[in-house]
Structures are given as C-alpha cells and as structure tokens.
Structure 1
Amino acid sequence: MGTYKFKLPDIGEGIAEAEIVAWHVAVGDMVKEDQQLADMMTDKATVEMESPVAGKVVKLAGEVGDQIAIGSVLVEIETEGGAEAAAPAVEETEEQQPLADGIVEPTPAQAEEIPVTATAAAPKAEPAPAPAPEPKSAGSHAKVLASPAVRQRARDLGIDLSQVRTTSDRVRHADLDAYLLYNGGSVGGGAPARADETIKVVGLRRKIAENMQAAKRKIPHFALVEQFDVTDLEDTRAMMNRDRGDNPKLTLLPFLITAMSKAMADWPMINATYDDDANVVTRHGAVHMGVATQTDGGLMVPVIRDAQRMSVWQLAREISRLSDAARTGKASREELSGPTFTISSLGPMGGIASTPVINPPQVATIAVNKLQEIPVIVDGELEARKVMNLSLSCDHRVVDGWDAAQFLQTLKTYIENPIRLLSA
C-alpha cells in the first residue's frame, strides 16, 4: 500500500491559488483513475480536477470556499502501489461548471460529560384563567345553513362555518368577510415557517459579491432613465421574424445593441474604461458588448466582440451562442473578459426603471426595462403605443450628466426610427 499525494497543478498563468468550489469525493471513498475529485475556481474559470490514480481517499485539503496554493497537496489517495507518488501535470479545462453550495461541517471534539446535580423542582405555575366563553355562533349546536357557494368558499378558505357569527338564519358571504376581518385575514395557524438555511458564499457568487462591493465603494454612480417608443421597432421586428428563414428569432436585444453601437460613435465617453490607479481613461473604438446572463451559479457576462461590425442577425446568433455557453458552463475565459460596456435585461420582469451597477473598469452600463402598451397623445390624438424605459448608470468621475443625456437622446433617434437604425 502507498499514499499518492495529488498536488494542485498550475492552472493558469500568474495564478497563485485557487478556490475549492465543489468536492465530488469524501474521505473514505474509493475512486477510479480519471474520476472527478473537485472543481477549482480562479477568477471566473472553473477547472475540473481528476484523479490520476485509483484508490481510497484518505485526506482532503480543505472545505468548499477555502483557497489552496498552487503546488500544495489537494487530495491524498491510498493506492495499491508501493512508494509515495507525485502528482503529474493535469490538463487544464477552463469550463464553467455549475457551482455547488455544499458545506462541509468539521467534526466537533468529544464533549466531556458533566454530572447533573439534582435540584428541587420549580413550583408549578398556576394555570391561566380560562377566557370567558363567547356568545354562541349561529350553528354551534345545529346544522349550519348556508348556500352551496358559501360552503365552497368556506372550504377554500379553511373556515369552520360553525364558528362564523351570523345575524340571520344562515351564513352569508358578508358573514365570511366579517369573520376574516375579525381574525386579521388569517383563518388557521398560517403557513409554517421555512427552516433557516445557511449557505456558504463561494465560487462565482463570491466573485460577484466582491466585484459589486468594490464597484459601489469606488464608483460614484448616477442613473438616468429615458422612455422610448418602440412601436415601429416592434413592427419591424415582427416583419423580419416572419421572413427570417434559417436565421434565429429576433428579440429586441440585437436592435438595442446595434443602436447603442451607433450612438457610441458620437459619444465615445460612454464606451470607455477607467484605470483609477493610473488615472487614465481609455475611450474604445470597438464595442465589446457584455450581455448580463443569469445562470444557476449567478450572473455572468459573456462578451460580444466588435458588436459594431455585426448585423442584427449576427448579433442574435452570437447572443444565443454565448448565453448557452454561459448557462451550460462552457464559456471560455476569453468569452467572459474585456467588455467595454454592459447591457442587461430581465424581459417582462424588468420593472419600469432600475439602477444597474457598473462593473469596473467600465464607466457605464444600461438596463432594459419591460415593454408596456400605454395610451400616448400623438399629434393631439390618443393612441396605444408600445414603450419601454432604458436605465443608464454612469461613473460620474468620467461621464457628465449632459453626456449621458445626449447619449440617450441619440439612442432615441435610432430606436424610434428603424429605417435609420438598420441603414449602413
């Protein structure tokens, strides 16, 4: 028998340590060669650690959430071989994996038993006086009279009709209403409280927490919300989708990205990054559009490179491809880094306004709020129009309010005029 010490390999240039985001084995487990042992995370890339040998796990380096130095022992495996082995190089796989929320509790030390000293029993408390009996309800000692509709409603609400007071010979809907009001809207004991749940903040969720904390601490945000009439744009989108052929179905997002890319040509301070350590602002010519995507592990931002060069059809394909890669854990480090601007959308759940948080070193981000059909006065006439709000957050160290307002007004000229938007 021998002990194989599997050491954490170098899993990225300049990486000194990695975080344990999931264990797939426990002490005492028998593992096979190439069986997955753990998921280790650096920045936003998760690397699967696989066992190079078969044997029994005898020691793990730490718990989920612990940071492990490169080159230190991650897992010890008891093998059939003789001498202690060294871990070979492990092939790097930079796939995003679903993050586990498991927590490994340490085994507590054995508590020393303490003899219990007998004490005199406390005097029994006197029972509280019984409340005075209330007047009898209408059906306390007889069958309660009520219509089938009232009985069904009472069953749905969980109300015992014999407990409902009535001023007539039968219980009516008004009596049920009075009963509910008298009981504060609660009939039974209410739903039981859900048990407390303790979740360790690890992996991608920890990265998100750190980035958002740094963003709100360092960046003086200001937000500006503008309403856009997208009636004509929606008609255009519907027409293009009817004749799309093999192209992907268009949502509003490719049109909005196209409009923003065009508007940034006039207002480059929006498509910028700020190195506050060097005190240098870089206004980018290319638009590398980050698209906030919700995954099981948390919010990720895959990046569309050179969005300003793409048609709405190309953008639709790229949005679909990158979103799928993020949600299935297959987005590469390159696809998750280097955005110059970020757009996020919750679709129908987007609310009417929001204050998105800027992801440094970017200096601006925009949130797409829900589309609504509302009455609008157009040329003195009342019309039903489709409108939506866009909420722009900017870094006030770099972007002035006037610049943000002008950017949104330029954006409006494209979004509300689809012919101009789609022209070269």
Structure 2
Amino acid sequence: MAKFTFNMPDVGEGVAEAEVVEWHVKVGDTVEEDQHLVDVMTDKATIDIESPVDGKVIEVAGEVGDTIAVGAMLLVIEVEGEVSGEVEEKAAEAAIPPDPKSKQVEERIEVETSDASDANDALAADPDPEPLPEPTPAPAPQAGAKVLASPAVRARANDLAIDLAEVKPAADGRVRHADLDAFLSYNGGFAASGRARSDEEIKVIGLRKRIAQNMAASKRNIPHFSYVEECDVTDLERMRAQLNEGKGDRPKLTMLPLLIAAITKLVPDYPMINARYDDEANVVTRHGAVHLGMAAQTDNGLMVPVIREAQAKNLWQLAREIQRLAEAARDGSAKSEELSGSTLTITSLGPLGGVATTPVINRPEVAIIGPNRIIERPMFVMGADGQERIEKRKLMNISISCDHRVVDGYDAASFIQDMKKLIEAPARLLAD
C-alpha cells in the first residue's frame, strides 16, 4: 500500500487558489479513477475535480468554504502498489473545465444592486414585459427514483422534513443546498409536511461568498452618495407602445433600451460618469465607449452581462442584445468576456417596485443608475391653452449612486436632470 498525495491542480488562467464549494467524498470512502471528488470555485468558474487513481480516502484538506492554493494538498488517497508517472501527469490535469450549459461562469459578480432586496433584474423595467424563453430545467426526480445528493444535503433535507423527490435539481440532476433553499422559499418557509423549518446555520460559500466580498469591498472603499429624480414617462411609454406596434419580427421594446439610449446620448457631456477608478494606482480612466453592465438575477445568483459599445446600437439592436445576454446569463452559456469590462451599470427592481433605490456601485466603476417602478397618479399639467388641468400621468423615479471621489454631486444631479429632459421629450432620443 502507498499513500498518494493529490495536490490542487492548476486550473489555468493564472489562478493561484480555489475555494471548496462541495465535497463528494469523505475520509474512509473508497474511490475509483475518474470519480468526481470535489467542486471548487475560482474567480473564473466552478470546476469539477476527479480522482486520478483508485483507492481509499484517508485525509481531505479543509471544509466547504476553505480556500486551497494551487499545488497544496487537496486530499490523500491510499492506493495499491506504487504511484506511476502517468498518475502524476493525470493528477495535474484532473480539473475538469466547467460545462457552460450546467455551470455558470462567474467572471464578475461585483454588485448587489439594492440594500433592500437582491431580486434585481434589469429586464424588469418594462411594466408589461414579454416573458423570455426560460431554460429547460432538469426534471424533478420521480417518486421512488434515486435522487442524486450529497450526504450533507440528505441530512439537511431529513431535518427539514423535505422529500428530495419534490425538489427541482440543478441542471446536472444533483440536488444541492441552493436547491433546498429555493424549495423552501417557494414553499413559504415550510417543508412538505407542513412543519415549520428549524433554525439553521448556513455557511456563506461560493457565489454568495463572492457577492458578499465584493459588496463589502465596494461599500468599504467607495464613498457613495445617491440622488433621485422623478420623471414623467407618459410620452415615453406612448412612444414605446407605438414602436412595438410595428416591430415585426424584432424583439419587443421594454423600457430598458430607451433608458440606455438616453444614457449613451448624455455620456459625452458627462465623461466622469462613464469611468473606472483604480484607487491603488490613483488613476481614473474616462472611457469613450459605453460598455453597459445590466444587473440580472439568475438561478445561479446575480450576474452582470455587458452590452459592448452600447452607444453604437439603435433601440432594436439594444433590445436584441439585452435579450441575448439575459438568456445566456440564465442558461449558463455566457462567455467570460460577456461578464466583464463594464464601464457603467444599470439595475432595476422592475415590478417589485420601490419609490427609490440606493444601488451599490459596481467597483471599480464610479456610477450605477437605477430606474424604479412606474406608477400612475394625477398631476397638474399645462395645456396648450396655457391653462393648468389635472391629468393621469405615468411617473418613474430614477436613482443614481456615484463615487464621491470622482463624481461631484452637482455633476450627478445635472446628468439625471438632462436625462429627465430626454425622457420627457422622447422624440429627442431618435434625433441625431
């Protein structure tokens, strides 16, 4: 018998360490060559690591949530005979790249866009949205069928009186803690038997841990200030409806492309808004092109897909790109370059409402814009005859949060005031 020390393999792209997000084996387990041992997460992806040998696990490095350096001991396996050079070579290549259809690449999880809620979806700015095609989920296991789940997940489900056969699994068919969380949230916090779920401690790991770290870094390092203005979007909504009547086979226009058009039209006059601040080098880069991030909630957590060269796209092109990127983020096929490099972000709570939001900046950007819910209420308006009268109008608040080290309050207010003028006279959006 010999002991084979299996070190954390090089997962590529200059990654120096990885976080353990789920063990599939424990000390004492017998494993076979190519058996799935552990899932680890880097800044780039979630990766499966498989065993290069047959044997018995006699030691594992760390618990879920621990970080392990590349080249450090991951686990020790007791094997028959000596370990060959071929095994060593296979061990170095044991990290299996993520399948984009089953594992979402997390290139950039830099912002939770509201202190009030984490249900952000940039597509929800349309008060009457056209639903996007949903990815086909893995079917829930049939009664009596074997459910794929780790012992920890099974134990937790048993404590909560949850039948795992009733839980919708992830795309690979394996039920994880996140799937239990989703099941509980959709069942009002009660298990299938009707018993109230017991208290539980949940370790913050993986995607949620990275969101937490980036949120904390943004609030710790950036002196935020927020500004909110009310806009009358009655005419904008009327124009949107007219454009959609003749859209043909083009995607339905939501409010979002119109707001993006207004933003990109104004950025040349407010270059400090479309910027990134390297606070270590003390350098602010004011970008000429607008690479607009749009915060979108997915089953894998909050993602920020990026519309490249947004200023060069018309309304229909923006609508099509929004739809494409949102679908890619939701079904896990988004490429890493589609989830990084934004210079300004827009986020929306959409139909969830809210009078105003104070979104958190997507570091190292210096501004984030948040349209809020559209509401109808009576307003005094001036008629063509010069007389005031009361009309029912559609109103929407627009929030902006800025990095006070780079953006002055006067500039942020002026930007939103000019955006208000464009929104309230929407024909100017289509003018050169």
What is the TM-score of this pair, normalised by structure 1?
A: 0.72
Letter in 1 for 2:410: W
1:65-214 matches, within 5 Å, as 65-77=65-77, 83=83, 85-86=87-88, 87-90=91-94, 93=97, 95=100, 96-97=103-104, 194-214=197-217
1:309 and 1:76 mapped to 2: Cα distance?
A: 55
Alignment deviations for residues 199-238 of structure 1 (CA, whole Å, 9 cap, x no partner): 1111121111112212212211111101111112212222
Conserved 8 A contact 1:293-1:301: yes
What percentage of residue pairs aligned between the two structures are identical? 59
- Please say if residues 10 and 95 of structure 2, whose CA atoms lie closer than 8 Å, have aligned partners that are also in contact: no
- Output one character per residue of 1:37-83: Cα deviation in whole Å (capped at 9) or x when no partner: 33222225222323455665554332211111112333445667753
Contact conserved, 2:25 with 2:38, CA < 8 A, in 1? yes
Instruction: Identify the match of residue 263 of structure 1 among 244, 252, 266.
Output: 266
Q: Which residue of structure 2 aligns with residue 279 of structure 1?
A: 282
1:409 aligns with 2:417: yes
Q: Which amino acid aligns with 1:242?
A: E
Inter-partner Cα distance in structure 1 for 2:258 and 2:6 = 51
1:418 aligns to 2:421 (yes or no):
no
Tell me, in whole angstroms, the C-alpha distance in 2 between the residues paired with 1:245 and 1:4.
63
> For residue 341 of structure 1, what is the amino acid of its counterpart?
L
Separation in structure 1 between the aligned mates of residue 242 and residue 266 of structure 2, nearest angstrom? 24
The equivalent residue for 2:181 is: none
Residues 1:17 and 2:17 aligned together: yes
* Structure 1, 33-42 or 305-314: larger mean CA deviation: 33-42
Q: 1:221 aligns with which of 214, 219, 224?
A: 224
Aligned residues: 338
Tell me the amino acid that sits aligned with residue 67 of structure 2. Q
User: Contact (CA 8 Å) 2:36, 2:48: kept in 1 or not?
Assistant: yes
* Alignment correspondent of 2:174: none
Give the distance between the partners of 2:151 and 2:358, measured in 1 at CA.
Answer: 33
Q: How does 1:325-404 map to 2 (within 5 A)?
A: 325-379=328-382, 380-404=388-412
Q: Indicate the SS of the match to 2:364.
A: coil
Shift in alpha-carbon separation, 1:91–1:210, aligned structure 2, 3 A = closer
Query: Does the aligned pair in 2 maintain the 1:292–1:345 contact within 8 Å?
Result: yes
Residue aligned with 2:355, SS: coil
Of structures 1 and 2, the larger Rg is shown by 1
C-alpha deviations, 1:135-183, integer Å up to 9, x for none? xxxxxxxxxxxxxxxxxxxxxxxxxxxxxxxxxxxxxxxxxxxxxxxxx
1:234 aligns with 2:242: no
Compared CA separation, residues 383 and 29, structure 1 to 2 (3 A): farther
When residues 243 and 378 of structure 1 are mapped into structure 2, their CA distance, relative to the original with a 3 A threshold, is same
Q: 1:30 to 1:326 in 2, by over 3 A?
A: farther
Match of 2:38 in 1: 38
Alignment RMSD, CA only?
2.9
Alpha-carbon separation, structure 2, partners of 1:352 and 1:35: 52
User: 1:316 aligned to 2:316?
Assistant: no
Q: TM-score, normalised by structure 2?
A: 0.70
2:324 alignment partner, SS class: helix
